[in-house]
Amino acid sequence: QKEVEQDPGPLSVPEGAIVSLNCTYSNSAFQYFMWYRQYSRKGPELLMYTYSSGNKEDGRFTAQVDKSSKYISLFIRDSQPSDSATYLCAMSADTDKLIFGTGTRLQVFP
Amino acid sequence: NAGVTQTPKFRVLKTGQSMTLLCAQDMNHEYMYWYRQDPGMGLRLIHYSVGEGTTAKGEVPDGYNVSRLKKQNFLLGLESAAPSQTSVYFCASSNELAGVFDEQFFGPGTRLTVL
């Protein structure tokens, strides 16, 4: 069993939809949780970062962490075609090595 | 600032050939990483470095070697390439202080095919 599980998609939604992306994990020592966005043929870039449990909001993006269920989510409101990318969850027990999910490919069509 | 750059962008090798991938960062970061990205496997850490002159093994180090002779450069070597090493390789860097999270900045990737 992988330490981090993520549905690879693809997920296809119309413009303006609310998108929910999720990851589950098995290592209870994880305390740093990240979402990276990766456009086609580009390197990943950090989108959201959360420490421990709770919610964090940044514009149209909300990250949620539920450590009791070992479950993290990324919500995108009012999705745009420019949000079409692969979204990678990542997590860490300390501050150096990250464990990544496989990524979910999202397509937002006009 | 260029951020993290990788050389080359693409490469095709024959089985048994060797090559070196170069990563350079101009952000004065202490930590540098090499990942590979394969379909269905996500990003997996190959080797990393916590400072000039240091290297450490990651999740999938076999078949690779690394060197960090200068703080700004991190080299990934394949001594005898195998088809299983066909992948997209990403370099990243960060400036993590003890107990404080800092973002990993990624390069644009190197697409390697081993025939």
- Whether the pLDDT of residue B83 is over 90: the answer is yes
- For B102-108, what is the mean pLDDT? 90
Distance from CA of A24 to the nearest CA of B (A): 14
CB pairs under 8 A between A and B: 52
Separation of CA B115 from chain center: 21
A10, A63, B103 from A21: Cα distances, Å = 11, 10, 21
* Residue B102 pLDDT grade (very low, low, confident, very high; cuts 50, 70, 90): confident
Distance CA B115, CA B113 (A): 6
Give the span between the Cα atoms of A99 and A102, in whole angstroms.
10
CA distance B90 to B106: 7
Residue among A69, A79, A1, A102 at smallest CA distance from B39: A102
Mutate to test the interface with A, among B23, B54, B101, B106 (most CBs of A within 10 A): B101
- The C-alpha atoms of residue A53 and residue B50 are separated, in whole angstroms, by 28
- Contacts B44 to A, Cβ<8 Å: 100
Ordered strands of the A71-76 beta sheet: A4-6, A19-25, A71-76, A61-66, A54-58
Q: Do A96 and B107 touch (CB under 8 A)?
A: no
> Which residues of chain A have a pLDDT value below 70?
95-96
B50-59 pLDDT tens trace: 999 999 999 9
* Cβ distance of A96 and B48 shorter than 8 Å: yes
Specify the pLDDT at position B100: 62
| Phi, psi (rounded to 5 degrees) for A82 | -70, -10
What's the rounded Cα separation, in Å, for the pair B7 and B24?
Answer: 9
pLDDT for res A15:
98
Quick one: chain B helix, strand, coil %, rounded to 5? 5, 50, 50
- Give chain A positions within 8 Å (CB) of B42: 4, 6, 88, 100-103
Contact in structure between A51 and A67 (CB atoms under 8 Å): no
Q: What is the pLDDT at residue A102?
A: 94
Tell whether the model's pLDDT for residue B11 goes beyond 70. yes
Q: Across the interface, which of B4, B43, B98 has its CB nearest the CB of A88?
A: B43
* CA nearest to B94, candidates B77, B110, B80, B106: B106
- Band of pLDDT at residue B97, cut at 50, 70 and 90: low
Identify the bridge partners of residue B110 per DSSP, sorted by sequence position. B89
Return all residues near A38 (Cβ < 8 A) that are at least 6 apart.
A44, A45, A85, A86, A87, A88, A103
Question: Which pLDDT belongs to residue B98?
Answer: 55
Q: What is the pLDDT of residue A96?
A: 66
The edge-to-edge listing of strands for the beta sheet with B19-25 is: B4-7, B19-25, B73-78, B65-67
- List of chain B residues whose C-beta atoms are within 8 Å of the C-beta of residue A95: 96-102
pLDDT 10s digits, A35-67: 999 999 999 999 998 888 889 999 999 999 999
Mean model confidence pLDDT for chain B: 93
Compute the average pLDDT of residues B73-87: 97
- Which of these ranges, A16-20, A89-93, B10-14, B33-37, has the smallest mean pLDDT? A89-93
What is the reported pLDDT for A51? 86
